[in-house]
Amino acid sequence: MEDLEFVVGEGRCGSCTLCCRLTAIPELQKPLNTWCHCCEINKGCRVYKTRPQSCRKFECVWYKKRDLLPELRPDRCGVMFEKLFGTNTYLALLSSENSRAWHVPPVKTAILGLLESGAVVIVLIGTGTEKHLLLPIGKTEEEVIEELNSILPNYYPGV
pLDDT at 92 over 70: yes
Residue 65 DSSP class: -
pLDDT at 5 over 50: no
Residues 107-128 have pLDDT tens digits of: 999 999 999 999 999 999 998 8
pLDDT at 151 over 60: yes
pLDDT of residue 11: 61
Write down the pTM of the prediction: 0.85
Q: How far is the CA of 25 from the CAs of 22, 58, 148, in angstroms?
A: 10, 10, 19
**CA angle, 149 as apex, 104 and 81 as ends, to 5°?**
25
Alpha carbons 112 and 118: distance in angstroms, whole number: 10
Residue 60 DSSP class: B
Residue 36 has, within 13 A of its CA and on its CB side, a CA count of 27
Alpha carbons 66 and 94: distance in angstroms, whole number: 21
Residue 25 DSSP class: B
pLDDT of residue 155: 61
Alpha carbons 143 and 125: distance in angstroms, whole number: 23
Structural domain boundaries of the chain? 9-155
Residues 130-150 have pLDDT tens digits of: 999 999 999 999 988 888 777
Which residues touch 103 (CB under 8 Å, ≥6 apart)?
Answer: none
The CB density around residue 48, as the number of other CB atoms within 10 Å, is: 15
User: With bands split at pLDDT 50, 70 and 90, how would you rate the model's confidence at 84?
Assistant: confident
Using a 10 angstrom Cβ sphere, with 0-12 exposed, 13-18 middle and 19 or more buried, the burial of residue 83 is: middle
Higher pLDDT, 93 or 86: 93
pLDDT of residue 156: 60
pLDDT at 68 over 80: yes
